[in-house]
Structure 1
Amino acid sequence: MSDDMNKDIEYNLTESNKEDKQEVKDSAKDKKIIDKEKEYKDDYEDICYICRRPESKVGKMIHIPNNICICSDCMQKTFDTINTGNVPYMDMMNLGPMMNFSGIQNEIPKSQKLKKKKEEKKEDTKTIDLKNIPAPHVIKRQLDDYVIGQEHAKKVISVAVYNHYKRVAANAMDDIEIEKSNMLMIGPTGCGKTYLVKTLARLLNVPLAITDATALTEAGYIGDDVESVISKLLAAADNDVEKAERGIVFIDEIDKIAKKKSTTNRDVSGESVQQGMLKLLEGAEVEVPVGATNKNAMVPLTTVNTKNILFICGGAFPDLEKIIKARLNKKSSIGFGAELKDKYDTETNLLQKVTVDDLREFGMIPEFIGRLPVIYSLEGLTKEMLVEVLKEPKNAILKQYKKLLALDEVDLIFDDGALEAIAEKALEKKTGARALRAIIEEFMLDIMYEIPKDDNIGRVTITRDYIEKKGGPVIEMRGCITPLLTE
């Protein structure tokens, strides 16, 4: 009997220890959740559920159940509305569905939360350390690993990014204010404009937003407002306004907002968008929707100063060569020293001769061009450059296919004639480097389909005859593979 009692006592002690340990775990878990919620509340502002204004603008919020915040102005308006309808204040709880918030869990999504601005400290006036900014030659050397050619464009972007952050840091030092140098990048399709900026975004630890100008319209029309450009930068900066105000914005397809030739209809996606972007490029405080592309009653707004935001605009500008050629051919006349009219017909890089007058004739308004002081052109890709694009960059197309076949333990070899044939076919399509993948996908389809059938295949060599459909690839079995001298 005593043994049974001892067992019961030991069992009860064990169970109580388990309960105590579980309570300790639960309390620690609850403490972590509370600390996490407290940290989140410390970092982000409360936003009014009715007017969508942040706490920094309207002051202290009134918290009601279901995690809903209402500012004092909206609460007072609610009381005034109820009082006007001859409803006593004490009968508010009996209004039924009018004041029922039980079905609402969160007032706004996390993407529309605003980070609180940190209090400025006297000893911490510099927000950027000049020593940590990569030098232009370092940025260009990193871009060289991914982008082939375009030496001038890479040099301009590297210097612009470096000077941009020197400018941000120097503005807090003395009274001399350095103007920002917004850029306009012109180049034929497929020459690497967008890829250049995307590579820059990966290399630099800065908030960088890449947006498209095709969806922009004048305020009040269907489409994205001009402020949506800054809204995307704010999202890239994790809704941190101070961080976004030191960011970079790349606006692609800028030529699509050129002024339309026909003036019978209102140009809501052309000249009106250019005029709306003037204040952004120059530098001004703009109201920006948080977590959305246009302003409406259900989206919170915040103020962003674009004074220190660097803008890079890029576009293909089709038919701009015709405008440049027409301007250059005005010099042609009859005589020994005259220039021939067909002199520029075979010019490959005619965009290098672009001027502000050519852009104005294309449809860009003078006020817009004046806010983009750095204008430069990218080179059209030649046959030799396309061959380098195929094999030289870190993530080159040929390296991707070689890795795919290496997973099947098969070597993929491209001879020099095959590379030249691919480049020649790409030049015929006139879509730049974008044509390379389409050409390779076409002739690699049968190889990628047939190779997994036979485990004895060890190497596949792509030849020029196979690209030109005059023969097939050279296939070697595993026991008959000869070592390559160029590996």
Structure 2
Amino acid sequence: MSNLTPREIVSELDKFIIGQSDAKRMVAIAMRNRWRRQQLPPELRDEIAPKNIIMMGPTGVGKTEIARRLAKLAGCPFFKVEATKFTEVGYVGRDVESMVRDLMEIGINLVRKEEMEKVKVKAEKHAEDALLDILLPSSKPKQNGMGFFNSSEQQEQEVKPVADQSSTREKFRKMWREGKLDEREVEIQVTVQGGGVEIMSMPGMEDMGMQVNDMVSKMFPGKKKTRKVKTREAYEILIQQESDKLIDMDNVAELARERVEQGGILFLDEIDKIAGNQEGGGSANVSREGVQRDLLPVVEGCVVNTKYGMVKTDHILFISAGAFSYAKPSDLIPELQGRFPLRVELTSLDKDDFYRILTEPQNALTVQYKALLETENLSIDFSREALEEVAFNAQKFNEETENIGARRLYTIMEKILSDLSFEAPDRSGDSIIIDKEYVQEQLQDVTEDRDLSRYIL
């Protein structure tokens, strides 16, 4: 990601998201600015704040997807949270600092997965040896009751069995690698969290409950439990155990904290719902403003205490989004507005956009449905006219009912293909072309009855 120019970032986003070029350009610049900041001398680097973004646009036009794909492209810890989940300090509800703790957990999992990949080869080798020890316990010179090894004469008598054991072990190794031992059952010890204490948390105070549970679990050591499993499953468990031995979790926590602080992305959705507006009541506006004032220190830059240590939020990138149908960015408190200097408006989707969404992205709905039905050996394809009819109906239903953007395509495609999905096991080997007439036939009942379309689509 560090080598990608803004133009290349936009090009990568174009593979999955249709349109919204202004928003893509803005997030690409924000990510490139992170790289530019790292090239500066330390005394200037700390002075440059991230350029936080507000995305404005109706639901289903790609706001969340842009941020999620950007984070995946960059390999950054990414966490999405609805601003409406938060309540002002002193009331029952989520604390705004909890989103930083959640982001840190994601960072830990991300770095841990990368570290496990680095030690994968060594862990697999150790796991294979441990599995062979279970399948074929090794013969070693035994101690007598006094704690001394047996006499040299007795040990010499054991040399031959040990050599035979080594030969047998290599035979077992070969059989295992060829998959001949996959169905054999073995007994393996696994660690289960001890204590058996579960602290129930009050609604809205789940974070505190999780912290107490974590503290209690550390007080009680894990217990060993013997399980009887197939060798293939035992091998996976042993790989996990060996990887845990090879990974330094203190180093993982340090790397994750640095990555969260320097590259983390927090996506604040529905931020318009906590913006004050003239139509709302006075008490409601006061409550919304309280949440904004709690958010302000986190966005400006503060230190949040997590179970992995203190995390600074000074350089975390905040991307906020909202429809802003009843409120506008200027309804946010001035201090919070100032922390989101970049504003971009996403456009509503029309029929042509829907058609492109069905055909162009790498993970297009048509590609997904084709792959799903091919698992039943049923081949389907869509004519251009059929997809144009789907796009036309998506726009029509969005206009007549509620505009939910590209999400409308999911409900329409599911309605069109429901019969084929049900009959697929009985039509194995068939090849079907879905044309315009088939689409119209499947949507006939909901297009003719507007009340019905409100419930089904």
Q: Which TM-score tier does this pair reach, normalised by the shorter chain?
A: 0.5 to 0.7
Distance 1:242 1:202 in 2: 18
| Structure having the larger proportion of residues in helix | 2
Distance 2:363 2:442 in 1: 30
Contact in 2 for aligned 1:287/1:301 (Cα 8 Å): no
Distance 1:468 1:163 in 2: 49
Output the TM-score relative to the length of structure 1.
0.56
Among the aligned pairs, what percent are the same residue? Answer: 36
SS of the residue 1:177 aligns to: coil
SS of the residue 1:409 aligns to: coil
Could you tell me which amino acid in structure 1 is paired with residue 12 of structure 2? Q
Matched, 1:257 2:274: yes
Distance 2:421 2:38 in 1: 51
Distance 2:335 2:40 in 1: 27
Distance 1:444 1:470 in 2: 8
Could you tell me which amino acid in structure 1 is paired with residue 418 of structure 2? L
1:301 offset after TM fit, Å? 8.3
1:174 offset after TM fit, Å? 4.5
Matched, 1:189 2:59: yes
Matched, 1:467 2:439: yes
Alignment of 1:36-55 (within 5 A): none
Q: 1:217 aligns with which of 87, 97, 119?
A: 87
State the partner residue of 2:40: 170
Q: 1:376 aligns with which of 336, 344, 356?
A: 344
1:241 offset after TM fit, Å? 2.6
Distance 1:454 1:281, change over 3 A: closer
Contact in 2 for aligned 1:168/1:308 (Cα 8 Å): no
State the partner residue of 1:271: 289
Alignment of 1:88-487 (within 5 A): 132-170=2-40, 172=42, 174=44, 177-238=47-108, 239=253, 240-246=256-262, 247-259=264-276, 261-265=279-283, 267=285, 269-283=287-301, 285-288=302-305, 290=306, 300=307, 302-319=309-326, 358-360=328-330, 363-427=331-395, 428-429=397-398, 430-455=403-428, 457=430, 459-469=431-441
Contact in 2 for aligned 1:221/1:268 (Cα 8 Å): no
1:386 offset after TM fit, Å? 0.5
SS of the residue 2:405 aligns to: coil
SS of the residue 2:371 aligns to: helix
Distance 1:466 1:229 in 2: 47
Distance 1:266 1:416, change over 3 A: closer
1:259 offset after TM fit, Å? 1.8
1:387 offset after TM fit, Å? 0.5
Cα RMSD over matched residues? 2.4
1:168 offset after TM fit, Å? 4.1
CA deviation string 1:421-480 (max 9, x = no partner): 1112211222110010110101201112223213452x11112222222899xxxxxxxx
CA deviation string 1:39-91 (max 9, x = no partner): xxxxxxxxxxxxxxxxxxxxxxxxxxxxxxxxxxxxxxxxxxxxxxxxxxxxx
Contact in 1 for aligned 2:381/2:434 (Cα 8 Å): yes
1:175 offset after TM fit, Å? 7.6
1:154 offset after TM fit, Å? 0.8
Distance 1:251 1:169, change over 3 A: farther
Distance 1:141 1:216 in 2: 35
1:359 offset after TM fit, Å? 2.7
Contact in 1 for aligned 2:304/2:313 (Cα 8 Å): no
Contact in 1 for aligned 2:52/2:342 (Cα 8 Å): yes
Distance 1:257 1:265, change over 3 A: same
Distance 1:237 1:249 in 2: 12
Could you tell me which amino acid in structure 1 is paired with residue 84 of structure 2? T
CA deviation string 1:154-185 (max 9, x = no partner): 11111111102322442516589333211101
SS of the residue 2:380 aligns to: strand
Distance 1:471 1:304, change over 3 A: closer
Distance 2:347 2:55 in 1: 11
Distance 2:94 2:38 in 1: 29
Could you tell me which amino acid in structure 2 is paired with residue 465 of structure 1? E
Contact in 1 for aligned 2:71/2:265 (Cα 8 Å): no
Contact in 1 for aligned 2:23/2:345 (Cα 8 Å): yes
Distance 1:179 1:303 in 2: 19
1:258 offset after TM fit, Å? 1.5
1:262 offset after TM fit, Å? 4.3
Contact in 1 for aligned 2:304/2:312 (Cα 8 Å): no
Output the TM-score relative to the length of structure 2.
0.59
Contact in 2 for aligned 1:217/1:268 (Cα 8 Å): no
Distance 1:319 1:462, change over 3 A: farther
1:225 offset after TM fit, Å? 0.9
Unpaired runs of 5+ in structure 1? 1-130, 291-299, 321-357, 473-487
Distance 1:175 1:302 in 2: 23
Could you tell me which amino acid in structure 1 is paired with residue 30 of structure 2? A
1:193 offset after TM fit, Å? 0.5
Corresponding pairs, count:
291
Could you tell me which amino acid in structure 2 is paired with residue 439 of structure 1? I
Distance 1:432 1:266, change over 3 A: closer
Contact in 2 for aligned 1:257/1:274 (Cα 8 Å): yes
Could you tell me which amino acid in structure 2 is paired with residue 450 of structure 1? E
Could you tell me which amino acid in structure 2 is paired with residue 314 of structure 1? A
Contact in 1 for aligned 2:275/2:332 (Cα 8 Å): yes
Distance 1:180 1:466, change over 3 A: same
Distance 1:256 1:431 in 2: 17
Could you tell me which amino acid in structure 2 is paired with residue 422 of structure 1? V
CA deviation string 1:157-216 (max 9, x = no partner): 111111023224425165893332111011111101011111112211222222221201
Distance 1:144 1:440 in 2: 23
